[in-house]
Amino acid sequence: METTDLLKKVRHIEIKARGLSRNIFAGEYHSAFKGRGMAFSEVREYQYGDDMRDIDWNVTARYNRPYIKIFEEERELTVMLLIDVSESLGFGSQSLLKRDIVAEIAATLAFSAIQNNDKIGVIFFTDKVEKFIPPKKGRKHILYIIREILGFKPEGNGTDLNVTLRYMTNAIKKRCTAFLISDFIDAGDYKQALRIAARKHDVAAIQVYDKLSTELQPVGLMKVRDPETGEERWINTSSKKVRDRYRSWWSDLQVSMNNAFRQSGVDSVSVSTESDYVKLLLQLFKQRK
């Protein structure tokens, strides 16, 4: 992508994502992702109806009358975007590729985070961790992230969620909110890595897929290429057996993915390239209330 084209696209996504995060997602994001917990704020004299468990016994002993601790919610979050940049994201039968939808979703989440004064970082991955951008705040940092999302050129082609999840678990020491954004076309077993990551961090999963990739259309003999392995082969899409086998592969993939989410306690949403991802993201946020 030429530099001028990239800058235009960055600006377009910035305007769209900023508007969505400010006008639609601000309140939903804030209530869905509440921060690390409660932090001590101050003490005040005990009042009738206060919880006895909040009494500060040291201050109470000093002043010879009961005082309680006041706590406030720690709002600041660290948000990590785990973004799949494998070759299979380059597919799309609609006006946008899966990669384009991933970019818009990631940018919208990034602006939502920054408007809530949260830090945001990124892990780009294929069948390995391609790049780690440490969490920071600020518009300049967000624009850098969007430029990388749109222009990043990975070394790998495949997808390995297991490696990525293990990397995040080890690299991010404090509890964070992590959005795993992928098409989840991964033949490996990532259930255990997801379970461990979700135990340490607050993980939400966003699957991006294209409707055409869920079912073969009967259009006769077709040459197909696996974008992640480069393998090419001819298939007869007129054959019901071939179409059934493909449909079964997709169904098994979805069942395995959803089982992994459920067993790990991970909230998730699936977004197709032709659907309204705004509505689906709001749905994800509301799951968490």
Q: Taking every pair of C-alpha atoms in the chain, what is the biggest distance, in angstroms?
A: 88
Question: Domain 3-32+78-287 maps to which CATH number in 3.30.70.420, 3.40.50.410, 1.10.260.30, 3.30.830.10?
Answer: 3.40.50.410
The reported pLDDT for the residue numbered 24 is 63
CA nearest neighbour of 150 among 103, 182, 112: 103
Across 137-283, the runs of DSSP E, i.e. the strands, are 177-182, 202-209, 221-225, 232-236, 267-272
Angle at CA 260, nearest 5°, toward 254 and 262? 100
For the entire predicted model, the pTM comes to 0.79
The reported pLDDT for the residue numbered 31 is 63
d(CA 122, CA 117): 16
The reported pLDDT for the residue numbered 26 is 62
Across 30-66, the runs of DSSP E, i.e. the strands, are 37-45
Mean pLDDT for each consecutive 10-residue tract of the chain (289 residues)?
A: 61 70 64 54 78 85 86 69 91 79 88 83 95 91 85 88 96 92 91 95 94 82 74 84 89 94 95 88 80
Q: Where are the domains of the chain?
A: 3-32+78-287, 37-74
The reported pLDDT for the residue numbered 238 is 83
In b/e form, how buried is each residue of 151-190, taking b as 16+ CB within 10 angstroms? eeebebbbbbbbbbbbbbbeebeeebbbbbbbbbbbeeeb
